Amino acid sequence: MNVAVMGYGTVGSGVVEIINRKDLGLTVKYILDLRDFPGDVNASKFTKDFNDILTGDVDIVVETMGGQHPAFEFVSQCLAAGKHVVTSNKELVAEKGLELITLAKENNVNFMFEAAVGGGIPVIRPLTFCLRANNIRSVNGILNGTTNFILTKMIKENMSFEDALKIAQDNGYAEKDPTADVEGHDACRKICILAALAFGNHVYPKNVHCEGITKIALEDVANVSGIGAIKLIGTAEKLPDGKLYILVSPAVVLSDRQLSAVSDVFNAVMIDGDATDEVLFYGKGAGSLPTASAVVADVLDCAEHSERRRPVFWGPEKPELIADYREVENKFYVRGAALDENLIDTKLNDDAYITKPITENALREKLDGEPASLIRVARL
């Protein structure tokens, strides 16, 4: 089977490396990238012309360019031309998943994206195949390694957000412009993909409330250290009324929960099904070879099941199903604003406490002034 790789960055070069070093019955025919890679061992395969791939002898196209454009246009054209496509591009899947899955179905080819969530951790295939005798109740995850690294430095080394971010950047874990990571946008794309797979309807990131970690103070980290750890959590949960509670925000994960022990750049996804109860998947959520290994597994699946595999069920958006997150009861960590004793679950110190379950709207009404900090307690 002939493979083309579009985008020779961190993941794309890992894909080529794995295909070259393992005897998998795959040949890399083209590598599309506008940049030059002088002296690269794969020099003969480079092209700057997408049409070489579209019209060439290519069975499976790997998209590791990132971003929506021109990835969407290229992927669409490949699917329409009857080529299988495998991608690691979470932005593309979160924004255009419905259209691309539909297009793949119409053309009787596969569109696979295991690497788009959790990097090298198998999550999407287990969720859509292994767990499908379940009705999924919720998905909760630490979905972004950069923010988890920063939070771990704050928790374990008492380091400020700014200092921890600097170290993450120096180590290559965070980009020069870290917005997509630290503001939660990357995690948001991933929880949208997981929600679509778990509950069947496309969820657009723009409709999901998303809070980052930039406002977390060391004082808050210290205040909760006796009961848990603050993590950036993506949550998607089916509520009793059938609505979807979905958001990305910092949350206090209690110490006896598996996700509280997930540190550094590691990711983990906890899926709660009505038959299995909680199942956890843990590992490296990013990086060249881990992510590439997930891409290559998808490529092999396309190669061996070249008649289309059962596509995942992914229906159109139903925005009316998304609950107002401020109207869903939850426990909260509060610092710097008083509350009626009857509504307090646990006092942490004179200035900070955990509330009993209450909606955010009701809580803000009852608080004596604007709190210095308001952080959810994780619902898992």
Indicate the residue among 4 and 367 with the shorter CB distance to its own copies.
Answer: 4
State in angstroms the smallest separation of the CB of 183 from its own copies: 28
Q: Give the ranges where 90-242 is alpha helix by DSSP (H).
A: 90-106, 124-125, 145-157, 161-170, 179-182, 185-199, 218-223
358 lines the binding site for its own copies (CB under 8 A): no
273 lines the binding site for its own copies (CB under 8 A): yes
Give the residue among 93, 86, 36, 92 at the shortest CA–CA distance from 69. 92
156 lines the binding site for its own copies (CB under 8 A): no
Indicate the residue among 50 and 282 with the shorter CB distance to its own copies.
Answer: 282
Indicate the residue among 207 and 276 with the shorter CB distance to its own copies.
Answer: 276
- The answer to whether 30 touches 58, Cβ cutoff 8 Å, is yes
Of 50-58, 173-181, 217-225, 304-312, the segment contacting its own copies by CB under 8 A is 304-312
In the list 71, 164, 233, 294, the residue contacting its own copies (rule: CB under 8 A) is: 294
56 lines the binding site for its own copies (CB under 8 A): no
Of 101-109, 302-310, 332-340, 362-370, the segment contacting its own copies by CB under 8 A is 302-310
122 lines the binding site for its own copies (CB under 8 A): yes
The Cα–Cα gap between 188 and 183 comes to 9
Of 122-130, 217-225, 231-239, 367-375, the segment contacting its own copies by CB under 8 A is 122-130
- The answer to whether 308 touches 104, Cβ cutoff 8 Å, is yes
The Cα–Cα gap between 184 and 195 comes to 16
Give the residue among 211, 169, 213, 168 at the shortest CA–CA distance from 188. 211
CA atoms within 13 A on the CB side of 294: 29
The Cα–Cα gap between 165 and 175 comes to 10
The Cα–Cα gap between 37 and 8 comes to 9
137 lines the binding site for its own copies (CB under 8 A): no
Catalytic: 156? Answer: no
132 lines the binding site for its own copies (CB under 8 A): yes
Q: How far is CA 78 from CA 64, 216, 293, 298, 372, in A?
A: 14, 44, 22, 16, 51
In the list 25, 158, 215, 305, the residue contacting its own copies (rule: CB under 8 A) is: 305
Indicate the residue among 184 and 285 with the shorter CB distance to its own copies.
Answer: 285
Q: What angle do CA 297, 124, 263 make, to 5 degrees?
A: 100
289 lines the binding site for its own copies (CB under 8 A): yes
Give the residue among 241, 202, 238 at the shortest CA–CA distance from 319. 202
129 lines the binding site for its own copies (CB under 8 A): yes
State in angstroms the smallest separation of the CB of 129 from its own copies: 6
The Cα–Cα gap between 317 and 128 comes to 19
The Cα–Cα gap between 26 and 4 comes to 10
Spot the catalytic one: 90, 96, 190, 284: 190
In the list 62, 195, 198, 292, the residue contacting its own copies (rule: CB under 8 A) is: 292
- Which residues belong to the active site? 190
Using CB under 8 A, list all residues that contact its own copies: 14, 18, 22, 24, 114, 120-122, 125-126, 129-135, 258, 261, 273-284, 289-290, 292-294, 296-297, 300-301, 304-305, 309-310
